[in-house]
Amino acid sequence: MKFQAIIFDLDGVICYTDEYHYLAWKAMADSLGVPFDRTVNNRLRGVSRMESLDIILERYNGTLSRAEKEALAEQKNELYKQYLSRMSPADLTDEVRSTLNILDEMGLLLAIGSSSKNAPFILQQIGLGGYFDAVSDGNNITRSKPDPEVFLKAAQMLCLEPSQCLVVEDAVSGAQAGHAGGFQVACLGDASAAGAGEYNLSTFSELLDVVGAEERIPYGA
């Protein structure tokens, strides 16, 4: 088998919480009178919470202390968690669920590599709490993507080398992180459109072709 494990980014790959991030950051930016739109929001994908805040504050006319910045980041996160609480297993598509199950049945180890500190809560909400063999997230890293730390720690948790693992990402910065760590990368979304991976996919289920699975998911099933 080409790979022994697959390490997935969470948001934009397994599920989608981009809109919740946008609404929470916008509410926080509005409270400061800072212009914030979807173009700026797109720069935040795959970036840690505090680094995201620094990007938003590029348009802020003033100076904030570290404590004030931390309070703003916490304000955003509380709003975001309120939105996340609305998530349910219905937010996991049949395609993603079926693909994960086939990969698991093939004997591949499955892990999460996400910069989000909310990854465990999101997984619980969508019915995947305890599903993955390892979860490396914003709670156990000090550097966010494009630094490879989150993926390297996931591989360590699985007791595997990067060359034995495939990273799945939708952000260019995430693909860069995978490559920086010595991983091959399969891309979806923006990263796929940019040709950022060894494998640039149109759909999640195309992962089955990448790993050479014999079983396929029937479309429209």
Q: Which two tokens stand for residue 111?
A: 């892990």
Verify whether residue 133 is a known catalytic residue: no
Average pLDDT, the chain: 93
Verify whether residue 11 is a known catalytic residue: yes
The pLDDT of residue 216 is 60
Residue-range domain boundaries for the chain: 5-16+89-211, 18-84
Confidence class for position 44, pLDDT limits 50, 70, 90: confident
Q: Would you say residue 218 has pLDDT above 80?
A: no
Helix runs in 3-111, H state only:
18-32, 38-42, 49-56, 66-84, 94-105
Assigned CATH topology for domain 5-16+89-211: Rossmann fold (3.40.50)
The pLDDT of residue 98 is 97
Model confidence pLDDT, tens digit, residues 65-117: 999 999 999 999 999 999 999 999 999 999 999 999 999 999 999 999 998 88
For the domain with range 18-84, which CATH number is right: 1.10.150.240, 1.20.58.1030, 3.40.50.1820, 4.10.490.10?
1.10.150.240
Of 9, 137, 147, 170, catalytic: 9
pTM over 0.95: no
**Do 5-16+89-211 and 18-84 share a fold?**
no
Of 11, 137, 147, 170, catalytic: 11
The pLDDT of residue 221 is 44
Half-sphere exposure of 101 (CA within 13 A, CB side): 10
* Among the ranges given (19-28, 138-147, 209-218), the one the predictor scored with the smallest mean pLDDT: 209-218
Contact status, residue 36 vs residue 58, Cβ threshold 8 Å: no
Model confidence pLDDT, tens digit, residues 155-180: 999 999 999 999 999 999 999 999 99
